[in-house]
Amino acid sequence: MKNKSSTVWLVLDSRHFGGIETHVLELAKGLLKLGIEAEVVFLADYGFHPLIQQLQRHGIKYRQLNNGFISLFCARFAEKPLIVHGHGYKANIAVKCLKYFSMQTTICTYHAGEALSGKLAAYDFIDRCSASIADVVIAVSDEINKKVRGEAKVINNFVAVKPQSYPGKQVAFVGRLSDEKGPQDFIRLAQHFSQQSFHIYGDGPLLESLAFSAPTNLIFHGYQIDMNDHWQDIGLLVMPSKFEGLPMAALEAMSHGIPVCAYDVGRLNNLINHESGWLVPAGNFKQLKNCVSKWLSSSLTEHFHRTRCARKAVIKGFSDDVVIPQVVSSYNQALINNNVGVSIVLNRETAKQRPSYGSV
C-alpha cells in the first residue's frame, strides 16, 4: 500500500534559532517540495520563537505543545502521524518514549557532539544510550555517530542551493558566541588585520567579554533571525570552532559562493577542499591567520574561482536535491522496521516544478 499524503512530524525542544532549527526548517521545506506533508512540533511553548516566523513565511504547518511528552502522546493518538522525527536530545527522548508506549514509527537525528555539563549532559547521555529504541537513527557526521550507542546512518546536513551571486567583502563569524565555537580566535584575527573590517553575526554567553577585548575594526551585528539579508555582504566565513558536526553556517555560506576558512574538525573536510576554501589543523592559529591573509591578497579571478568551487561542492553533495531523498529512504526503512504496510512516495511532478539553481 502506498501513501502519497503522508504526515511527518518534525519534533524539537527549542528556545532559540541555531543549527538544529535551520536543519529542521530546510528539511520541512524540502519535504513539502516533494509533496510530503510535514509539520514542525515544538515540545513546549517558550513564547516568541524566530523559527516560527520562518515557518509562516514558507507556509509550513507548526504547533507548540503546552505539556511536553503528555501533549505529544495525546496528539499522536488523536492524529496518528505516519512518521515522528526527533531533533535534539530532549525531543529524541520524547520521541523514543512515544515509540516505547505506542509503537509509533520514529526516527531520531543526532546533530551535536560537544561536551555538555549538568542537566544537559544527563539528557544527552540518556539520549545516546537509548538510541536503539528508535526505528532508524541518523547522525550528521561520523564523529557524532561514534558517540551514539547503536547503529546509525550518517546523512549530510544540507541546504537549498541559492541563485548564484558574487560575495561581498566582509570577513565574518556566524554563530553562537560560546567557547566551543572559538570566537576568541576571530577576535585575534581582527586585532592582527587592523585595516580590514571584521563582522560577528551572533550572540551568546561570551558576548560581553569579547566586546571588551574587541578592536575598533570589529563590528557586532547581534543575533540574526535570518542571515539571508547578510550573506551578500560577506566575502569570507571564518570558523575557528573546537568542535563541529557539519555546520549549517558553512553550508549556507558556500551555497552563496562564500569560501570558508576553518579549523579541520568534524566533517568539514568532506565539504571544504583547497579550491573551495581553507582547512587548517585544529587550534593552529598561525595557519588560520595565513589563510585569511591569502584570501585578502587574492585576485578577482581567484575569488571568482573559489566562489564557483564553493557552490559546486554544495550542489554536488549537500543540496536538498541530493539529501532529502536519502532522508525519505530512511523514513521508508523505519516503516519497514516497524512493520507498517505503507511507504512514502515522492511526488515527482512537484519535484519537476521546482526552480533549479544547479549551474555553477
- The domain spans of the chain are 2-159+320-350, 170-317
Phi, psi of 106 (to 5 degrees): -130, 150
Q: Is the CATH code 1.10.8.50 the one for domain 2-159+320-350? A: no
1 contacts: CB under 8 Å, gap ≥ 6: 341, 342, 343
Q: Worst-scoring range by mean pLDDT, 132-141, 186-195, 288-297, 344-353?
A: 344-353
Do domains 2-159+320-350 and 170-317 share one topology? The answer is yes
- Identify the band that residue 349 occupies on the pLDDT scale cut at 50, 70 and 90: low
* CB 218 within 8 Å of CB 245: no
From residue 14, alpha-carbon distances to 22, 32, 41, 173, 207 in Å are 12, 22, 10, 23, 21
* CB 20 within 8 Å of CB 94: no
Bridge-partner residues for 108, per DSSP?
86, 137
Fold of 170-317: Rossmann fold (3.40.50)
pLDDT at site 61:
95
- Identify the band that residue 331 occupies on the pLDDT scale cut at 50, 70 and 90: very high
Which grid coordinates are listed for 143?
A: 564523529
Does the structure show a pLDDT above 60 at 5? no
- Identify the band that residue 291 occupies on the pLDDT scale cut at 50, 70 and 90: very high
pLDDT at site 359:
44
C-alpha 224/C-alpha 230 separation (Å) is 9
Does the structure show a pLDDT above 70 at 175? yes
Q: Of all residues in the chain, what percent carry a pLDDT higher than 70?
A: 93
* CB 30 within 8 Å of CB 38: no
Does the structure show a pLDDT above 70 at 353? no
Does the structure show a pLDDT above 80 at 166? no
Bridge-partner residues for 42, per DSSP?
12, 64
Residue 130 DSSP SS3? coil
pLDDT at site 201:
97
Give the tens place of pLDDT for each residue, 72-130. 999 999 999 999 999 999 999 999 999 999 999 999 999 876 666 678 788 888 989 99
